[in-house]
Each structure stands twice: as C-alpha cells, then as structure tokens.
Amino acid sequence: MKFENILNDNQDGILTITINRPSKLNALNRDTIQELHQAFQDAESDEYVKVIILTGSGEKAFVAGADISEFSDFSPEEGKELAAKGQEILFDYVDNFPKPVIAAVNGFALGGGLELALAAHFRVASENAKMGLPEVSLGVIPGYGGTQRLPQIVGKGRAMEMIMTAGMIDASQALQYNLVNHVTTQDELLEFTHQMASKIAGNSLVAIKSAIKAVNANYEDGVNGFEIEIEEFGRCFGTADFREGTTAFLNKRKADFPGE
C-alpha cells in the first residue's frame, strides 16, 4: 500500500513512522488512521522492524488532534462508531503492539494526538511540545482512550484538570507529571529517541513482547496481572532468546539474540 499521509523510514530495525500532513498540523483524518493501522500491521509481520518511533512532520506539531472537519456533522451513532473503530484499529492496537512503540512528541499533541502518544509504550518530548485534551472546548470528550489512559499515567486529579480545563501543558510540566519520560531540544529529539530505541533493540524482543503483555495486563479489567506475569515468565524459558541470553552471560560475552 502506498501511503499519502505518513512516511516510513527503517534504519537498522528502528522504524520511524512520521505523520505527514503538516499543513493541517498532522491532524488525524480517516485516511491517516487507516494508513497508520496498515503501517503497524506491516511492521508487526516485518522481521526487520524491531522498535517503532512515532512522530509528526514539521516543527510545529506531533498531531493536533482528530480532524475536526470530518466529524462536525456526525450523529451520536456516527460519533460512537468513530471512537469504537479508531480505538480498535489504532489506539488499542498500538497500546498492545508486540514490539516497542515510542512517541517522539515534537510539538502540539492535542486531543487524538495526545491520545496516540498515550497509546505508545512511552513518550519523549522536545522542549516546544504542548500537550492537552481540548475536546470539552468543542462540546465533546476524548474518544480515543484519553479518559482512560491519561489518568493511568498522570493520576486522576491531574487528568480531570487537563480534561476539564481543555488547557495545554508544556514539556517541563509534562515531565513533572510523568506524562513524558525525557525532554530534549527540538534538534536532538529524534536522535535521542533513536539511541534509546537502539538500546532496546539490543535486548530480547521476544522477552519484551512478554513484558508488554504482562505490564498491560495490569490495566485490563478482570485480568490478574500477576498470573499473566507468571505465565509469560514461564514462556520465556522455552525460547532461544533465553538460552542465548543466559549462555552469553555465563560465558561473559554479549548476547546476540536470535529473536525466537
């Protein structure tokens, strides 16, 4: 599939997916969401993709939200369908993606843009980044998981404040809120994130897949995360990566994981 709204660049197994509608501040229209879904699906089955970095094109925005022009005349049923489909094909998919996903937030991350960053496994931001969930200023609420993931990450009170005020926080406040793990200059954002991705890629991606599943189990209703951890822990013992990792350690050499 040829993409029109995103760019893909794989360097040494680190796939950078750039949302590329800078004239609309990379707002997520239907096509862009579909293309992102496709890009993630391709990345899932591509053995040459180890870690994914999600970012926005241009100097101003990561993603300035869902494309408001597309849903301003929707009925309640259409609104519900928009949220349900988006959550299924992109936001939940990214959150549960079996390979690490890092959001490199390079500017405005608003509404669906912040929700996309929240769905990533963790976030790095540049100093100029601004984050918020402005939906109630439009008469709607976050529909791509923001009411659930923001409180999980920053705590209920801060999430309530951000959602109710519809305001933006800057990168240093986002760091203080643990909404982002690191803040860099605008110039250094991608290189910094890439270095972190490379470090991750040197570990066992089979074990990381299990770790993602176990960590996410903590946020699933009716699921006992400790039991999932035990199951995944046991599963690791049957992998070639585990044999390589432990053998390499005992032989005082660096592990070269086969990825199985």
Could you list the active site residues?
Answer: 115, 135
Kindly state the smallest distance separating residue 129's Cβ from ligand COA, in Å. 12
Q: How far apart are CA 125 and CA 170, in angstroms?
A: 10
Q: Which of 160, 182, 155 is nearest to 171 (CA)?
A: 182
Q: How far apart are CA 123 and CA 208, in angstroms?
A: 17
CB contact set of 169 (below 8 Å; sequence gap of 6+)? 130, 131, 132, 162, 177, 179
Q: Classify residue 22 by its DSSP letter.
A: G
> Closer to ligand COA at the Cβ: 137 or 152?
137
Kindly state the smallest distance separating residue 79's Cβ from ligand COA, in Å. 11
Kindly state the smallest distance separating residue 139's Cβ from ligand COA, in Å. 10
Interaction of residue 108 with ligand COA, rule CB under 6 A: yes
Site for ligand COA in 56-75 (CB under 6 A): 64-69
Interaction of residue 257 with ligand COA, rule CB under 6 A: no
Interaction of residue 129 with ligand COA, rule CB under 6 A: no
Report the helix count and the strand count for the chain, using DSSP H and E.
12, 10
CB contact set of 232 (below 8 Å; sequence gap of 6+)? 210, 211, 213, 214
Among 24, 37, 182, 235, the residue binding ligand COA under the rule CB under 6 A is: 24
Kindly state the smallest distance separating residue 60's Cβ from ligand COA, in Å. 7
Among 56, 86, 100, 111, the residue binding ligand COA under the rule CB under 6 A is: 111
Contact residues: ligand COA, CB under 6 A: 24-25, 27, 64-69, 108, 110-112, 134-135, 138
